[in-house]
Structure 1
Amino acid sequence: MNIYPAIDLYEGAAVRLFQGNYNQMTVYADNPVHTAADFKEQGSSFLHLVDLEGAKKGISSNFNTIKDIVEKANLFTQLGGGIRDMATVEKYLSIGVNRIILGTSAITDKSFLMDAVEKYGDRIAVGIDIKDEKVAIKGWTELSSHSCDDFCKEMQNIGIKTIICTDISKDGAMEGTNLNLYRKLSKTYSVDIIASGGISSLEDIKALTAMKLSGAIVGKALYTGTFSLASAIETAKE
């Protein structure tokens, strides 16, 4: 299982939200380029980037910061947050982003999603963020009418190869991840599943690895020093 250390960007800084609440934001690093370089030094080959302003407003507010991170860190980078048209997809792919994560637009603009998948194949992933058993959109500020299961099934049928699934109630809470959710998804769908939200111990990593998930995104636990990135990577190899 691959470990994706996370950098969530807001106004050019690396931050974390508590359960997606923009009013409960902690700034962890003023220079996220250095943060990405540190992840690489600890042995990471992967990076998960989120443009929080983009997710909320649908604009690429952190483009220059993302460009610097991608160019200097030289990691396999997946990026989500406010990517809602083909021009933005192509802009990010052109600077070296390896995989684009579509969230809000995967629900609100199916024709765009299908065009992107047809053109770029497995370089397009979908982020499914769950709150009260519904898929949340627009930076987790609104709930759609889609259930997790229905939406996963639809994405698999469209041809999506990778789904990043977040239980918003677990995100940033440091209370453990939703193992039952990922166990169910891994058994039900043939797509690659990447777990996100609440991963707060090496035991979480071990459990997710045993499910043979494609990957796990780790954020707050790294920033607070709960465990090291190197130990997470090693645990995920076992």
Structure 2
Amino acid sequence: MILYPAIDLKGGQCVRLRQGDMAQATVFNSDPADQARRFASAGAEWIHVVDLDGAFAGRAVNGAAVEAILAAANQPCQLGGGIRDLDAIEAWILRGISRVILGTVAVRDPDLVRQACRKFPGRVAVGIDAKGGRVAVEGWAETSELTVEELALRFEDAGVAAIIHTDIDRDGLLQGVNVEATAALARRIKTPVIASGGVAGLDDLRRLLAAGGIAGVVAGRALYDGRLILEEALALLASARAQTPERNPRKTQLC
């Protein structure tokens, strides 16, 4: 299981929201490049970046901050937020993003996801943000009628690199990750699943590991406020990886 430390961008700064509410943003670092360097120096294998303003605008807003992050750290970065067409996907990949995350467009235009996967194999993930079990879109401002499972199953044969499952009701609250829902999704589909939302400490990582079959986890606020020490978390996951040979390489690849 891979840990993805998160950098959420609002107004060019690193922030964390509570339940996706842009009005409840806490600034943790005004310099995203500095934050990326800190994660990199601690040994992070990937960095998870979200352009929050872009998610609402439907286009890149914090592009300069993303480029600064790419320049500051050699770790692969995955980026979501406002990426809605092939041109935007290609532009970010050419700038150095290792993987783009498609959220709203996965609901609005699933054919685009398939096209992107064909054109950029292994470089496209689908972000499924859940509120009350239903998929939320447009920066979490709207809730669709689709269930998480229904949306994930649409892309089983598309070549999606990973499904990033975020429980909005827990995001930023440090109340614990939704292990049950994430593990159930991982059992239901072949695509690797990354858990997101609510990680509060090492116990959450232990619970995800115990559930089995979960490829990764995104952590944000807990890392920023010190409840989760990145070096300790990475050591825990490295130890678990060494002790447990993976039975299904696709599920637990370094995605």
Range into which the TM-score falls when normalised by the shorter chain:
over 0.9
1:1-238 maps to which residues of 2 (within 5 A)?
1-210=1-210, 211-237=212-238, 238=240
CA distance in 1, matches of 2:159, 2:66: 27
Quick one: percent identity of the two aligned structures?
Answer: 38
The 2-side partners of 1:10 and 1:52 are apart by 6
Give me the CA root mean square deviation. Answer: 1.0
**In 1, distance between residues paired with 2:60 and 2:177?**
29
Task: Verify the 8 A CA contact 2:161 2:191 in the aligned structure 1.
Answer: yes
In structure 2, how many angstroms separate the alpha carbons of the residues matched to 1:126 and 1:91?
18
What is the deviation of 1:159? 3.0
Q: TM-score, normalised by structure 2?
A: 0.91
- How far apart are the structure 2 equivalents of 1:42 and 1:32? 16
Q: Distance in 1 between matches of 2:128 and 2:136?
A: 8
Rounded to whole Å, the distance in 2 between the matches of 1:106 and 1:203 is 32
What code does the residue aligned with 1:234 have?
A
Count of matched residue positions in the alignment of Structure 1 and Structure 2: 238
Q: Deviations over 1:192-231 (max 9, x none)?
A: 1100000111011012123131110000000111021111
* Shift, 1:118, TM fit: 1.1
Give the SS at the match of 1:143: strand
CA distance in structure 1 between the aligned counterparts of 2:195 and 2:228, rounded to whole angstroms: 17
Q: What is the TM-score normalised by the length of structure 1?
A: 0.97
CA distance in 1, matches of 2:201, 2:155: 30
Q: Is the 8 A contact 1:71 1:96 kept in 2?
A: no
Look up the equivalent residue of 2:122 and give its one-letter code.
D
Which stretches of structure 1, 4 residues or longer, exceed 3 Å deviation after superposition?
none
Unmatched 5+ residue regions in structure 1? none
The residue matched to 1:71 in structure 2 has which SS? Answer: helix
**TM-superposition CA deviations, 1:142-161 (whole Å, max 9, x none):** 01121111111112133323
